[in-house]
Amino acid sequence: MDKKQLWIVGLITAGAVLGSLLGGAAGYRREALGKAGLAGLTGTLCLGMHFGSVPELGMWAVFAGGLLLLSLTDLDRRVIPNRVLLFLAANRFLWALLLHQPVPAAAGQMFLGLCIPAALLLLAALYKGIRGRTAIGGGDQKLLLVMGLYLSWPQMLLTLLAGCLLGLLVKRGPFHKNWNKETAIPLGPFLSAGAICAICFGDPLIRWYMGFL
């Protein structure tokens, strides 16, 4: 078995174990841990194949693990834990120090990434003021702000697009019989999946879009 094969096997094993452990931490029963393990396996494999064996893979692995944990919790309890969001924010700043990222460059990237969720929060506040109801939950708003610390502004736009499309497919499609048109669905898991898709597969689409600017 060559190094690439060992790398893939290691990613699969680590992802499956991590997903199962996080599923247990989120309070999932034994029969549901397989789904959590599969989610962890998929996310870890995608990130590992995208970044390769580079130091910053550790940052992205923690990011993906945190997204998986809060997604499982959101699906089970309809809440996004603040402690997980704080941990992910701290992880981003820690890795900025460990990777010796120049402060102006890191701060500029984070600022641009935060512009998208900040604009969305403003629109949500205006919607609530006009219609008297919220358009997006408070936990989802905070999740988007934390994502803005990691992702570029084009990746944030793609995350929102992919997350909304995935949520729409699940709610309107035949994938979950309990989520009908009147049933609210948790947005956190779909935003998390959208973020992983934007990171691992969004570069060609972003380059194509940026070519028009």
For the entire predicted model, the pTM comes to 0.81
Q: What mean pLDDT is predicted for residues 31-39? A: 56
Would 47 be classed as within a structural domain? no
- SS3 (DSSP) at 98: helix
Residue 15 domain flag = no
pLDDT band at 92 (very low <50, low <70, confident <90, very high): very high
Would you list the DSSP string of 24-67? HHTT--GGGHHHHHHHHHHHHHHHHHHH-S-TTHHHHHHHHHHH
pLDDT band at 20 (very low <50, low <70, confident <90, very high): low
Within-domain flag for 38: no
Residue 189 identity (one-letter amino acid): P
CA 194 to chain centre: 6
CB atoms within 10 A of CB 119: 12
- The tokens for 91 are 């992880």
Q: For residue 14, is it within any domain?
A: no
- Give the distance from CA 12 to its chain's centroid: 19
Say which residues have a Cβ less than 8 Å from residue 67's Cβ, sequence separation at least 6: 43, 88, 192, 195, 196
Distance of CA 197 to the CA centre of its chain: 9
For residue 78, the enclosing domain spans 56-210
Reference 60, options 195, 203, 207; nearest CA is 195
pLDDT class for 89, splitting at 50, 70, 90?
very high
Counted domains in the chain: 1
pLDDT of 6: 46
